[in-house]
A and B are shown apart, each in its own frame.
Chain A
């Protein structure tokens, strides 16, 4: 009897610990996501990246923390000065993209982020990286779109790439604009429900649609 009580006790304790840690996880994620929403400067994103990095170390079975850590590092790279400084942060973001891919293989959201990351690495030195990285970015984004045709971010980044290339070569932007429009609709259709899933990136699609209508 004593034994049984003990076992039950332990089970209860474990569950409550788990519930407690799940609650702590959600709380930490919630706090970090709120801060990410407000982040503007390099330092803000550094703060946020550190938080997600801590969470990902603790909750290593979840892909969300590594996804957002990578996104925060990408944002740091966008705000850093100089190629080698920019690369330092995109390299760091790659670590977390790989980690996220390991936890959640075949996740369109992570593959789309990989495509976006290639775009940012490319933008650090477009003259010498364009040739090598633009096919890589297109490949990743194409993969993300085929995995989930309704992913707004994958469609939006792809529209961005297509639009840039069409403009550069003076060819028709119709396809790119149609995709941007579709991406925007997909953004609008995203559920309002708060969840940990990514919902960012709508403004870029809006800008592109705006550009297309001009």
Chain B
């Protein structure tokens, strides 16, 4: 009974004390007051919100030992044991900043990311596909960013004084070999993959993470879409072909299939072309996508792309004066299977395999170059958030490349060659977030190639410091190696990988829908492949004695705020590069390089017309070329390149879009360079021919229809 009484007494004593008044102020580490913080006693309803001056004041009927909790977005929750006994308490609360790995300071040197998720992005996926000059090609849109150079006869990505082959494309972290459509020399190509497949892209112009290798200049990382929300059918009818796609989404699994046919023949019969096509480019392709949710965070993705394409054209032989027929048949298959899962708060895993099977028959009259590459990339990475401040990314990779080449000279002679390379790689990289203002990254990548039995150890370093305003400085350094191109390794398998070293300093500011970036860099090349003449079959004429360097400045400005419904960006790149490589006989500026590249992209949405209008202006200063009729090397200059492209996307109905675009509306006759006969003619002159555009302009229209149950979706992000 006594005990019982004691309990009751204890129970009632709760009310015998009076009220306690708690007051104080909430500040951050630097002594600035924090308004809006939630101040309360644990397990009670008593509390207050700090005032605009950071002060709080409340009374409670609780007493004895209690816990005071203070919480505010962006700060670690604060807890303090206090004793309440009716005496007024005054407390100064100092909140510690929480490290925000997503929206805090990020490493921006060399990196242009575009994503739906992260806020600190320069371009969003939709931006990429609505850029006028892009004509629906991811690469076309990336080419309006600084650091890239317009190389009209190629269509590939030339980054910071680097060649097209120095840029590697990755889908969900896995390599894509031959990411561009097969083509013949001086006919520009396009990227193989529809921008519609990807939710985000990350384009690096250098100094990239240890996770990526086998690229001297640039890594373009494409992240594929996650689980689709709806079952839908997409139909596209275009001036150059058409496609039909169907996506079916179940609870945990989705499946998409697409059939597409591209045929430029009808178009090129109507619009006059500068090329004399025997068979204009045409192709048939299919695509399959499977998504399966294994558990809450585990997602399996399978992507299969296959494509058969053909083209051939006639051209006067500069030596013989006769008509040459040049053509290519290409069979392409790309398979990418990957899985990612978040194991717990600290660990997440990613892994996958990609396979590329590419076969091309390149024909020059009776001679046939038959090339086949079967390559595989498998990768397993683990991300470990070791602590609030440290995260570690590590992984292991295996690349295999089997390359066969058979060259048939008419019916007389056949040469068969091949090589097989296994490349093993491991990487580890640590991010250290000293605060929300400062992040430091250090990584190392090791690579072993079986072809030359060489080992490489490449360090990568980067850091960023965020200033008081929204601006931040980034620095990056890295060493990179890349296996020689197949055509060279197959002749001389002992060629060693080429090397590059990057130094980058960057300043970036993102504020209120405006982005400003300026970046300067220095890049050194070594062990570049050299040979006597192109298509030389003597292994002894190949070596790794080439070298070079590039330095420059990139400026980017984007503004989505000043003009209503208008978004524009301006890029300028200056690059100064020289190299001695391939068939050069001295150090010189390479033919693909223009010192100044400038582009302006404007998009304006007219609500009353439900139409987005776009225009792009591209400028590239003159390029050097070698004229054998003159003294010296790389002794002549092309005129500058200029192009104005326009487009319009009209929402006819909720689910129907009409898209129109034209490149080079003013019909400027752009010349990319000249090619010459190998031997002088009777007058002792090397005959020349200009390398120019396929046609004055390329006009495109397409009708994109989406069918869903509720007709809410359209293909705007498909363009």
**Beta-carbon contact of B7 and A134 below 8 Å:** no
**Beta-carbon contact of B49 and A24 below 8 Å:** no
**Beta-carbon contact of A92 and B73 below 8 Å:** yes
What string of 1s and 0s marks CB contacts (under 8 Å) between A40-65 and chain B? 00010011001101110110000000
**Beta-carbon contact of A83 and B513 below 8 Å:** yes
A135 to B560 CA separation, bound complex (whole angstroms) = 24
Residue tally, chain A, CB below 8 Å to B: 43
Partner of B605, one of A17, A25, A28, A127: A127
Q: B712 to chain A: which residues have CB within 8 Å? A: 134-135, 138, 165
**Beta-carbon contact of B230 and A135 below 8 Å:** yes
A127 to B543 CA separation, bound complex (whole angstroms) = 53
CB distance from A139 to the nearest CB of B (A): 6
Q: Which of A78-120 contact B (CB under 8 A)?
A: 82-84, 87-89, 92
**Beta-carbon contact of A46 and B3 below 8 Å:** no
A92 to B36 CA separation, bound complex (whole angstroms) = 14
CB distance from A16 to the nearest CB of B (A): 8
Q: A58 to chain B: which residues have CB within 8 Å? A: 43-45
The answer to whether B716 has its CB under 8 Å from any CB of chain A is yes
Q: Which of B207-241 contact A (CB under 8 A)?
A: 229-230
A82 to B561 CA separation, bound complex (whole angstroms) = 11
The answer to whether B92 has its CB under 8 Å from any CB of chain A is no
Main secondary structure of the interface of B (DSSP, over half): loop
Residue of B nearest to A138 (CB): B712
**Beta-carbon contact of B653 and A28 below 8 Å:** no
A46 to B567 CA separation, bound complex (whole angstroms) = 34
CB distance from A121 to the nearest CB of B (A): 12
A10 to B716 CA separation, bound complex (whole angstroms) = 67
CB distance from B22 to the nearest CB of A (A): 14
Residue of A nearest to B652 (CB): A169
The answer to whether A132 has its CB under 8 Å from any CB of chain B is yes
Partner of A54, one of B36, B45, B74, B513: B45
Q: B512 to chain A: which residues have CB within 8 Å? A: 82
Q: Which of B632-662 contact A (CB under 8 A)?
A: 651, 653-654
**Beta-carbon contact of A13 and B230 below 8 Å:** no
Report the number of A-B residue pairs with Cβ-Cβ less than 8 Å. Answer: 90
CB distance from B75 to the nearest CB of A (A): 12
Partner of B610, one of A6, A50, A169: A169
Residue tally, chain B, CB below 8 Å to A: 43
CB distance from A60 to the nearest CB of B (A): 10
A2 to B8 CA separation, bound complex (whole angstroms) = 14
A50 to B51 CA separation, bound complex (whole angstroms) = 12
**Beta-carbon contact of B116 and A169 below 8 Å:** no
Residue of B nearest to A5 (CB): B4
A25 to B513 CA separation, bound complex (whole angstroms) = 44
A44 to B119 CA separation, bound complex (whole angstroms) = 28
A47 to B35 CA separation, bound complex (whole angstroms) = 11
Q: A83 to chain B: which residues have CB within 8 Å? A: 119, 513
The answer to whether A168 has its CB under 8 Å from any CB of chain B is yes
The answer to whether B314 has its CB under 8 Å from any CB of chain A is no
Q: B43 to chain A: which residues have CB within 8 Å? A: 57-58
Q: B1 to chain A: which residues have CB within 8 Å? A: 2, 5
A16 to B7 CA separation, bound complex (whole angstroms) = 13
What string of 1s and 0s marks CB contacts (under 8 Å) between B61-83 and chain A? 00000000001011000000000
Q: B40 to chain A: which residues have CB within 8 Å? A: 50, 54, 57
**Beta-carbon contact of B38 and A54 below 8 Å:** yes
Q: B651 to chain A: which residues have CB within 8 Å? A: 169
Which of B7, B74, B567: most chain A Cβ within 10 A?
Answer: B7
A177 to B567 CA separation, bound complex (whole angstroms) = 34
**Beta-carbon contact of B45 and A9 below 8 Å:** no
The answer to whether A136 has its CB under 8 Å from any CB of chain B is yes
A26 to B615 CA separation, bound complex (whole angstroms) = 60
**Beta-carbon contact of B126 and A13 below 8 Å:** no
**Beta-carbon contact of B8 and A9 below 8 Å:** yes
The answer to whether B563 has its CB under 8 Å from any CB of chain A is no
**Beta-carbon contact of B654 and A165 below 8 Å:** yes
The answer to whether B246 has its CB under 8 Å from any CB of chain A is no
Q: Which of B510-534 contact A (CB under 8 A)?
A: 512-513
The answer to whether B710 has its CB under 8 Å from any CB of chain A is yes
Q: Which of B4-33 contact A (CB under 8 A)?
A: 4, 7-8, 11
What string of 1s and 0s marks CB contacts (under 8 Å) between B528-569 and chain A? 000000000000000000000000000000001000010100
CB distance from A13 to the nearest CB of B (A): 5
Q: A27 to chain B: which residues have CB within 8 Å? A: 45
Which of A50, A82, A88, A165: most chain B Cβ within 10 A?
Answer: A50
A43 to B49 CA separation, bound complex (whole angstroms) = 9
Q: Given A2-B3, A6-B4, decide whether A46 and B49 contact each other with a Cβ distance below 8 A.
A: yes
A16 to B15 CA separation, bound complex (whole angstroms) = 14
Q: Given A2-B1, A9-B7, A28-B45, decide whether A135 and B73 contact each other with a Cβ distance below 8 A.
A: no
CB distance from A77 to the nearest CB of B (A): 12
Q: A132 to chain B: which residues have CB within 8 Å? A: 116, 717
Partner of B710, one of A25, A89, A131, A138: A138
Q: B42 to chain A: which residues have CB within 8 Å? A: 57
Q: A169 to chain B: which residues have CB within 8 Å? A: 610, 651, 653-654
**Beta-carbon contact of A87 and B11 below 8 Å:** no
Instruction: Pull 15 A–B residue pairs with CB atoms less than 8 Å apart, ordered by A.
Output: A10-B7, A53-B38, A54-B44, A57-B40, A58-B43, A82-B512, A83-B513, A87-B119, A88-B73, A89-B73, A127-B560, A139-B230, A165-B712, A171-B653, A171-B654
7 additional A-B residue pairs with CB within 8 Å, beyond A2-B3, A27-B45, A139-B230: A10-B7, A46-B49, A58-B44, A83-B119, A84-B103, A87-B119, A127-B605
Q: Which 10 A-B pairs have the closest CB atoms?
A: A28-B45, A50-B38, A9-B4, A50-B49, A54-B40, A46-B36, A47-B49, A5-B4, A128-B124, A54-B47
Please give the residue numbers on chain A whose beta carbons come within 8 Å of chain B beta carbons, in ascending order. Answer: 2, 5-6, 9-10, 13, 16-17, 24-25, 27-28, 43, 46-47, 50-51, 53-55, 57-58, 82-84, 87-89, 92, 127-128, 131-132, 134-136, 138-139, 142, 165, 168-169, 171
